[in-house]
């Protein structure tokens, strides 16, 4: 079987690493990897290929750093050429980025079957570009690999035939289980001189938060009121917005460059609490048993909120500050599969 994998952004490298590692152990699957170039900084791209031992891409399209329409359009055109040349049996796409949508759309127009990993997630906020990418990708896909029961229900509500759906668990849970033993303390950590002091780990990168100066400033004010140190590895978009808007950082907020995955999971495992607007980081907080405060008004991972692990606070600085000072109480155990999502995805594709 010949599989064409399309990836382009940080969370996709992490998700795909689990599947690609298994494929490498099989003689009956040939994987061709296409990197669209959506993320291109070395700490947003290369570091993941090196650390997670993802095979080097067979194609690097170098299409990133432009607006939604230009990025999706150029990727679509370039991906069609690759697909015509490679003639894969399956096109595999991950998550909810422009690269996901471009891959799914290019393939379905060529009558190539698309498999979507992390299908069925919905925020029900259609102003998020990710939400549009997810919905369109799911409806173009032949095989939809859902991470949760909630995702399965969403897909059924949208009328996608049962025969296309498969509940496999979450590939990010596979990754968390596999890589936690390789978690690495960042070299700069000691220079923060936190001693035994507890810290909060924060990430901010969603366009809805970074593109609005007032909201970004409000989040920083909320983090400033956490009552303890906050470590904030910066996504390039957030860094440039803080600079462009000349936003001042509260004295307890320590910024760093975006870190690699192994350092990120060390920071998650050693934090007291996590504050984020990232989808992946919300779940990783749970995987590493940390309470999470989500800097959004809604989430795709609703079960974490229902179970008490996650609190939605939006961008209100008072809510952020008080949620970060709260001692969390009771939490329910949840399931994101059994750590074998990647294995199930591969065996299902081989059988198709």
Q: Which is nearer to ligand UDP, 83 or 146 (CB)?
A: 146
- The dihedral through the CA atoms of 129, 118, 348, 51 has a sign that is positive
- Residue of 205, 235, 254, 288 marked active site: 205
CA distance 336 to 148: 6
In angstroms, give the least distance from the CB of 87 to ligand UDP: 30
Q: Whole-number minimum distance, CB 269 to ligand UDP, in Å?
A: 11
Contact 58, 82 (CB under 8 A): no
Least distance from ligand UDP to the Cβ atom of residue 230, Å: 14
Task: Report the nearest approach of ligand UDP to the CB of residue 318 (Å).
Answer: 25
* Cβ distance to ligand UDP smaller for residue 13 or 82: 13
Contact positions vs ligand UDP (CB under 6 A): 10-11, 14, 203, 205, 233, 258-261, 264, 278-281, 284
Q: How far is the CB of 19 from ligand UDP (least distance, A)?
A: 15
Looking at beta carbons only, is 88 or 229 nearer to ligand UDP?
A: 229
Residue with tokens 């692990």: 309
Q: Is 288 a catalytic residue?
A: no
DSSP state of 202: E
Residue with smaller CB distance to ligand UDP, 147 or 280: 280
Name which of 39 and 344 has its Cβ closer to ligand UDP. Answer: 39
Residue 84 burial (10 A CB sphere; 0-12, 13-18, 19+): exposed
Counted residue by residue, the chain has a size of 352
Q: How many CB atoms lie within 10 A of CB 163?
A: 8
Shortest CA distance to 219 belongs to which of 247, 191, 179?
Answer: 247
Is the alpha carbon torsion for 213, 219, 222, 224 positive or negative?
negative
Alpha-helical (H) ranges within 180-329 are 207-210, 213-224, 236-244, 261-270, 279-287, 302-306, 317-325
Task: List the catalytic residues.
Answer: 205
């Amino acid at each position: 079987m010949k599989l064409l994998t399309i990836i382009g952004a940080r969370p996709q490298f992490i998700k795909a690493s689990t599947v690609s590692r298994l494929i490498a152990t099989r003689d009956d699957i040939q994987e061709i990897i296409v990197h669209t170039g959506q993320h291109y900084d070395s700490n947003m791209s290369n570091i993941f290929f090196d650390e997670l031992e993802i095979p080097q891409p067979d194609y690097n399209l170098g299409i990133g750093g432009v607006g939604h329409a230009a990025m999706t359009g150029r990727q679509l055109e370039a991906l069609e050429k690759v697909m015509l040349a490679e003639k894969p049996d399956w096109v595999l796409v991950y998550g909810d980025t422009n690269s996901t949508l471009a891959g799914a759309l290019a393939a379905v127009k060529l009558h190539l079957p698309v498999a979507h990993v992390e299908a069925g997630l919905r925020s029900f906020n259609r102003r998020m570009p990710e939400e549009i990418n997810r919905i369109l990708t799911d409806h173009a896909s032949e095989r939809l690999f859902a991470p949760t029961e909630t995702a399965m229900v969403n897909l059924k509500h949208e009328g996608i035939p049962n025969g296309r759906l498969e509940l496999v668990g979450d590939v990010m849970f596979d990754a968390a289980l596999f890589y936690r033993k390789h978690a690495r303390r960042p070299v700069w950590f000691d220079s923060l001189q936190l001693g035994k002091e507890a810290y909060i780990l924060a990430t901010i990168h969603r366009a809805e938060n970074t593109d609005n100066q007032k909201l970004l400033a409000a989040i920083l004010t909320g983090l400033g009121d956490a009552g303890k140190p906050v470590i904030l590895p910066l996504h390039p978009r957030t860094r440039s917005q803080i600079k462009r808007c000349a936003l001042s950082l509260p004295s307890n907020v320590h910024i760093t460059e975006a870190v690699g995955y192994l350092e990120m999971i060390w920071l998650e495992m050693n934090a007291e609490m996590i504050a984020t607007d990232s989808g992946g980081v919300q779940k990783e907080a749970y995987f590493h048993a940390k309470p999470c405060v989500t800097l959004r008004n809604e989430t795709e991972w609703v079960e974490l909120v229902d179970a008490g692990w996650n609190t939605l606070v939006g961008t209100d600085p008072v809510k952020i500050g008080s949620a970060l000072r709260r001692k969390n109480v009771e939490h329910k155990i949840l399931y994101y599969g059994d750590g074998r999502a990647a294995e199930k995805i591969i065996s299902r594709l081989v059988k198709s």
